[in-house]
Structure 1
Amino acid sequence: MNPILPIDLLVPLLLLTLAGSLFPAWRSTLRSSLPLRLALLACRFGAWSILAVAALNPGAWFRETRNENSDWALLLDRSSSMQVRDVQDSSRWQAAQELAAQAVQSDLSRRAKIIPFSARLEEVLPDAAAAEKLEANGAATDILRSLDELIGRYEGGTRKLAGIILLSDGRQIAAGSEQETALRACAQNAPIYPVCLGGPVEQKDLIVAVAQRHQITFAERQTPLAVHLENRHLGNVQVRVRLLDEDGKELDAQNAALPDNQTARVDLQFTPTEAGARRLQVVADSWPGETDLSNNTTPVAISVLTEKIQILFVEGLPHWDSKFLLQLLRRQPHLQATTVHRVTSERFFRVDLLGGDETETRSYFPDTQPDLNQYDIVAFGKGAEYFLSPERIGLLRDFVQDHGGALLFCRGKPYSGALPELEPLEALQWGAPTARAFRWTPTAAGEQAGLFGVLLPPREAPLWANLPPLAQARESLRLNPFAQVLVEGVFNETAARRLPLLVSRRIGRGLSITIDAEDLWRWDFFPNHPEAGAFYRQFWVSLFQWAASQSEFLPGHRLALRLAPSVVRPGEPVKAVVVGRDLGIGLDAAPNLHMAGPDAKQPTLTLKPVPGRSNEWATVFTLTTPGLYRLEASNASTAALERTTAVLEIRPPPGEEQNVSADPDFLARLAERSGGRVVTEQELAETIRSFAPREVATESGTSAWQPSWDHGGLLLLLALCLTGEWFLRRRNGLL
């Protein structure tokens, strides 16, 4: 209400006027009949009531409004994927043209803006007939960029965008943020209503990939390369896979039978003759009918090390396990092991396995950090408590965490009883011993880590079922943080319960590895299992090589280079971080970072110190040309030149023809986040009607009161009340 007077004043005044009008009317008719008196009183009260309502002035405030100046957009996807004929015997493009014509006909307000797009938004078409002259031949699809450009045209303008109809198959090729685009549309009150055209399409393709894009090896060592092939709808094919060097020379080749819609593994090999970094290519010959030939080739980087892996092997309780292992290490040209073993409580012997003599020593374990940091791997057998003190465990912690060394427990629990100071460096919490037979079974994490399927046979290899079972291990109470199980022990009587047998755990710049099993030497002892003997030798050599390569620093290197991420699309940022470790000679200047590859316009990148981190530098850069790039960090300020490399892969953006299947899920997410939804052809007209101009306040923004009593009916009722009283009084002689 909006009364003509303040309500606290108006109400008493209305009551006084009620009494002042009804009381005289009643007194002036004392000699009349009761019905007449009541009729006159009702007429008088009715008139008063109408006037009281006018004085109280019920109604509502309203602002002056107008219809909003707005358009709605009809986006037509004319990329080449719209040529696919999977919409009722018509192409997607023909279906989009027909729907556009129907949509424009249902737009009675004539506010539709028909705009084609492919890689970006194009000009507005004058009418739907103009779309019939266009062809679906766009080389790429960028729905998100086109929507961003459309929204940008209306931001800050006088005309608004009421909604967007998107006729597309939803194949978003370019990188972009669908959430950001959808939120921009939602902020403009312009929901997106896609109509998905088309469905899934079988793509005929042969895909080649390597299990590990960057491998570490040694000169004159035969190096395996695990290649994975995938056949998509090509039928049964015979594929030739070749390994090529930088000059295109064939290093190895294999033929593989690949059934339709199946995968296969091909093992290639090569033997590097000299140290350094190499870039090789794995090529699978093309097959008729392939839609994408770019994934028939994949690069692989090889780092050939010059320094041997330095191993310190410590054994407090000698056993056949240690004897077999040390004999194996002695025969490896790229491993140099020093062993310290305890003979009695007072006698310790130190042996250089590179042909050195056994010598008795009292300095049986390094007592200073520089002495310990000479090694890449410290391996323990049994009886670690005879060597370790709290001070030496502190040295081990710094060796792993800061220096980037590897700690390997080769024979299960390395100590008897408890050694709480060592527990933070272990991968698991030890439980009770078990003597139940189990089989050695790699896990998916073991393949992802690059140990199995690269250096060792993959999980599906028949070898694992043929290995003799083992029976000496311990239960695990729990895994420590950041631990990964690479091998499980599967009990013969039940496969449900498993033991973690090979566990790795990242600790700072290095890692800790635990083998919770004993008597592995039996695989190499019994002549009935020659396959097991070969695996025993392969396993230990590969494990030491893998452990050294998993450290942040490679053997003999004082610089480490890491890239985040190491696989990107053109134009995406890459962060390169170089870390140095000090072996007594300070790194007093920022290292140099050189880059070689298809688009090395800046062959030298500038590194800047990372705040708060000593001996650590970083830079961020982008590249636009796809290919494999080799980055090399070096530091010439010391007496010897230090070098380390990393590999960066710039993957080409997906092509328009590589996958032409419609993507309704992408369109549904985009629509939902913008406040719209995916619509069908039948819902199109109703959706367009929802784009009717909205009422908005005028620019003046003035408000006015709209009384609810101000209409002719109430005035007529007032006149009837007054006229009725006058008529009754005149007829009965009361005037």
Structure 2
Amino acid sequence: MNPLRRLFEWLLDLKPSAPGQGTTWNLSSDFPWPTWVLVLFVLFAITFVIAIYRRDAGHLAPWQRWLLSALRLATLGTVLFLLSQAMLLIERTGLPYLLVLVDVSNSMGTVDSSTQSAEVETGRRLVETNQLGPATRLAQAQGLLLDNNGQLLRRLVANHKLRLHTVAEGDALLGPESSLNDADVDSLLPLIRGLTPAGNETRLGDGLRNTLNSLRGSPPSAIVLLSDGVSTDGESLQTAAQYARQRSVPIYTVALGSTDPQLDLELHNVLVDETAFVGEPASFAFTLTGRGLTGKTARVQLRNESTGEVLASRDLTIEDDGRPIKQELAFTPRQVGDVAVIIEAVEIPQESNTANNRETRRISVRDEKLRVLLVDQQPRWEFRQLKDLLGREKTVDLKTVLLDADPEFVQEDRTALANIPVTREELFEYDVCLLGDIPPGTLSATVLENLRDFVAERGRGLLFLSGPRHAPESFRNTPLEPLLPVELEGIRKPAPQDSLRQEFRPELTPEARKGSALFRFADSERESQEVWSFLPGMFWSVDVQILRPGAITWAVHPQKLVQGRPVPLIVTQRFGGGRVVYHGVEETWRWRYRLGDTYYGRYWVQALRYLAHSRTAASEGSAELLADRKAYQAGDPVTLRLRFLNERLIPADPAGVQLVVETAAGTREQLALRGLPDLAGVFEGQLAHTTAGKYHVFVASPTFPHAPPALDFEVRASERESRSLRAEAGELNRVSTQTGGRSYTISTASRLVSEIPPGLPVPLEPESPLKIWNHWLVLLAFATTLVSEWLLRKRWRLT
């Protein structure tokens, strides 16, 4: 501060300025005369005083006359000052703000393999000098701020109030509200050193706007942004820069990272059946996307997680940069049991992100196939397509009975039987029976009784396939009628002569989406629902009015209503120890149109496994633990559901299910599941704030007679962030140009301080006006000049 100003503050008893503050002084007056009168009076007074002393003090030296004239004029000036009623207006000012934004998203954790030697060398020097570990983009930003004990920050606080923010998914203030001196900078340095890449998304535009809005009323003189320019979500950086330009705030960017294409292999969309069979291929469908690798070859392999043995491998050529390649890879298991299989794209030299190269899937290997019996009267489309599908399915041993078939059919078709098995022993060899459009009276009472016991006693699965001629009403007043999940009273069907032109697509109920894995067509519940909504539609359906108690509806008609409720089309229930499913449609074969067996086959294989699940329910704990997805991104909530297969094990307490969640690091936490009011026997809970890693979950309460249900899932870092690794230096340069700032690289950032404008002082609250016309100093000045003139006149003998 100016020493003279400091003296006046002491004399006037003014409060000294705080650190980072200054003052602006203005003088105001309320003189009783007009200005022109005052000017004339001053001119007259000067002329008159000089003339008088020239006349009366002619014998004195010139300097003596001028001194006496000055004292007389000073006395008159003091009088005029007293008449002016002068007041001092003091307005305190603060230093302008300067915002420094540091990008801490996951892309800033990239170690670039660049050919730009000057940038690489400068970045490495900063990182090594400040002992920051690997030369990631964030480490280079930290090195720039920490270098020479924070010299850059210390130079900035000389003319600014500094605010440091981090930005990724959101923005956060780092350190104090403002840094004003070296001591504040000293407190910032450890915080800067402790920064780590953490954000799963980069919202640079949102962060820029939010930090600007945090200083409403006093916009900063400039913003310094240290980033790679990668923005994956939220408002665009360009739009936020336009907002900064409207507020006259220039943005100075420091571009970090290489603009060269980043080499990356991403393995995603992995699909595999959870059950495999000894001696039969287990196929893994996957998608491989390569970036910066056009024309290169990548190897995808299956590996046993526990032994490390490579089970299968395949080389693929990356033809187009960023274009997904859909392929399959299979291996043949040789032993019974559960096995964790890693499917991975083998890392390539200088690959920028290896976290998205692999996924783990657990499959259960069995030594037996599902034995399925398919029965119908005629070879309608549903029968033909099902027969073809299941006949090719490696995990199914299919037998068919076509009641109206010629005798030659049995000899020509390896799956065909002459008659439905009559004895209990023969029938009980099967796991699932599919009953089609069978006319009444075709099956003997013994066979019907055996089918009933097949489900109730043997714990097998039965699926009723409705048809336009007979089923399901053909089972009225038979031993199989109680097995149907729907009442046959009031049933209606389209007449054979009806022209069916209204296409519909069955709608899945919450029970189907959340309570069953049968309708899982993709990794997540949302993606499975999207697949279902795009499957080809149907035209024919059965209208039923009443469900049996305990039946669960999985799909309904989207337009038809019966008694104000949607017509149920796919319904299930438990009967004794087994399961029963009812199909009120007969056109699932339409799902093969342009899609082949991709989803048609997946649905029917999963339906067979659902129906055969009761066979192993005792050994599997009579409950199944499900997750809404198999893989998650960091921060995603994980929804876990426990579905009881044995009603006797359902706890009476709605919050009676406790899970234990274990991480690969050995940490544990408990999660309570609550019963869903609209889904009997289903308990659900959510695990929030997940971090990347592998998780193992098992049921701690209630207890089970055998091993409790358990599952494993994996949480990975954000794929969107990892897919955008190439630095967007051009975007940062456009932002700087748009706002009137400048763009730098890590090697030119040393010019940053000298090129940032100092900014204008920011007015703070003004203080109350100070009356100085009647201050004792003014009276002292008046007395001093008056007495001094009188004494000098006496000394020099002037009367």
In the superposition, the TM-score normalised over structure 2's length comes to 0.47
1:253 equivalenced with 2:313 (yes/no)? yes
Name which of 627, 636, 644 aligns with 2:693: 627
Which amino acid in 2 is paired with 1:271? T
Distance 2:389 2:206 in 1: 64
* Structure 2 gap ranges (5+): 1-88, 127-139, 406-418, 434-441, 488-492, 509-518, 524-528, 539-555, 559-568, 573-580, 745-751, 770-799
Give the structure with the larger helix fraction.
2
Structure 1 range deviating more: 623-632 or 358-367: 358-367
Deviations 1:698-727 (A, max 9, x none): 588x9xxxxxxxxxxxxxxxxxxxxxxxxx
1:562 equivalenced with 2:622 (yes/no)? no
Which amino acid in 2 is paired with 1:598? A
Distance 2:531 2:300 in 1: 37
Distance 2:345 2:275 in 1: 24
Residues 549 and 303 of structure 1, relative CA distance in 2, 3 Å threshold: same
Distance 1:690 1:175 in 2: 33
Distance 2:378 2:720 in 1: 62
Aligned to 1:110: 159
Residues 259 and 140 of structure 1, relative CA distance in 2, 3 Å threshold: farther
Offset at 1:307?
9.2
Offset at 1:520?
12
1:662 equivalenced with 2:727 (yes/no)? yes
Offset at 1:209?
1.8
Distance 1:691 1:483 in 2: 60
Residues 116 and 80 of structure 1, relative CA distance in 2, 3 Å threshold: farther
What aligned pairs does 1:438-477 form with structure 2 within 5 A after superposition?
449-450=521-522
Offset at 1:114?
7.5
Residues 612 and 507 of structure 1, relative CA distance in 2, 3 Å threshold: same
1:651 equivalenced with 2:716 (yes/no)? yes
Residues 483 and 692 of structure 1, relative CA distance in 2, 3 Å threshold: same
Which amino acid in 1 is paired with 2:604? F
Offset at 1:248?
0.6
SS of 1:294's equivalent? coil
Residues 171 and 698 of structure 1, relative CA distance in 2, 3 Å threshold: same
Offset at 1:277?
3.9
Name which of 162, 167, 184 aligns with 2:225: 167
Aligned to 1:227: 286
Offset at 1:164?
5.7
Offset at 1:212?
2.6
Q: Does structure 1 conserve the Cα–Cα contact (< 8 Å) formed by 2:97 and 2:163?
A: no
Deviations 1:504-545 (A, max 9, x none): 999799997967487999x9xxxxxxxx9xx99999865521
Residues 342 and 425 of structure 1, relative CA distance in 2, 3 Å threshold: farther
Offset at 1:291?
2.5
Distance 2:156 2:689 in 1: 47
1:599 equivalenced with 2:665 (yes/no)? yes
Q: Does structure 2 conserve the Cα–Cα contact (< 8 Å) formed by 1:511 and 1:550?
A: no
Structure 1 range deviating more: 114-123 or 284-293: 114-123
Offset at 1:256?
3.1
Distance 1:397 1:540 in 2: 23
Name which of 316, 328, 334 aligns with 1:267: 328
What aligned pairs does 1:44-123 form with structure 2 within 5 A after superposition?
67=93, 71-75=97-101, 110-113=159-162, 121=174
Offset at 1:668?
12
Q: Does structure 2 conserve the Cα–Cα contact (< 8 Å) formed by 1:569 and 1:651?
A: yes
Q: Does structure 2 conserve the Cα–Cα contact (< 8 Å) formed by 1:171 and 1:660?
A: no
Distance 1:574 1:288 in 2: 34
Distance 2:659 2:496 in 1: 48
Residues 312 and 517 of structure 1, relative CA distance in 2, 3 Å threshold: same
Identity of aligned residues (%): 16
* Structure 1 gap ranges (5+): 1-62, 400-412, 429-446, 452-479, 490-502, 524-531, 703-735
Distance 2:701 2:495 in 1: 42
Name which of 342, 346, 350 aligns with 1:285: 346
1:545 equivalenced with 2:592 (yes/no)? no
Offset at 1:150?
12
Q: Does structure 1 conserve the Cα–Cα contact (< 8 Å) formed by 2:379 and 2:402?
A: yes
Distance 1:565 1:450 in 2: 9
Name which of 521, 524, 533 aligns with 1:484: 533
SS of 1:617's equivalent? strand
Aligned to 2:682: 616
Residues 606 and 233 of structure 1, relative CA distance in 2, 3 Å threshold: closer
SS of 1:298's equivalent? strand
Distance 2:394 2:590 in 1: 25
Which amino acid in 2 is paired with 1:289? Q
SS of 1:662's equivalent? coil
Offset at 1:281?
0.9
In the superposition, the TM-score normalised over structure 1's length comes to 0.50
Offset at 1:207?
1.6
Aligned to 2:566: none
SS of 2:302's equivalent? strand
Q: Does structure 1 conserve the Cα–Cα contact (< 8 Å) formed by 2:110 and 2:353?
A: no
Distance 2:557 2:710 in 1: 24
Distance 2:452 2:429 in 1: 24
Distance 1:626 1:240 in 2: 25
Name which of 260, 275, 280 aligns with 1:217: 275
Distance 1:616 1:547 in 2: 19
Which amino acid in 1 is paired with 2:347? S
Distance 2:624 2:400 in 1: 28
Distance 2:497 2:231 in 1: 60
Which amino acid in 2 is paired with 1:302? I
What aligned pairs does 1:247-646 form with structure 2 within 5 A after superposition?
247-259=307-319, 261=321, 263-273=324-334, 277-304=338-365, 315=376, 317-319=378-380, 322=383, 325=386, 335=396, 351=421, 360-361=444-445, 375=461, 377-380=463-466, 382-385=468-471, 387=473, 416=496, 426=506, 449-450=521-522, 483-486=532-535, 516=587, 543-548=603-608, 557=617, 558-564=622-628, 566-570=630-634, 573-582=637-646, 590=656, 593=659, 595=661, 598-602=664-668, 605-610=670-675, 612=677, 614-621=680-687, 626-633=692-699, 641=706, 644-646=709-711
Offset at 1:249?
1.4
SS of 1:231's equivalent? strand
Offset at 1:242?
2.2
Aligned to 2:259: 201
Distance 1:697 1:257 in 2: 69
Offset at 1:165?
0.4
Offset at 1:250?
1.8
Distance 1:355 1:266 in 2: 37
Distance 2:611 2:248 in 1: 52
Aligned to 2:548: none
Q: Does structure 1 conserve the Cα–Cα contact (< 8 Å) formed by 2:262 and 2:291?
A: yes
Q: Does structure 1 conserve the Cα–Cα contact (< 8 Å) formed by 2:694 and 2:715?
A: yes
Aligned to 2:45: none
Aligned to 2:66: none
Aligned to 2:39: none
Q: Does structure 2 conserve the Cα–Cα contact (< 8 Å) formed by 1:504 and 1:512?
A: no
Residues 194 and 553 of structure 1, relative CA distance in 2, 3 Å threshold: farther
Residues 301 and 338 of structure 1, relative CA distance in 2, 3 Å threshold: same
Which amino acid in 1 is paired with 2:255? L
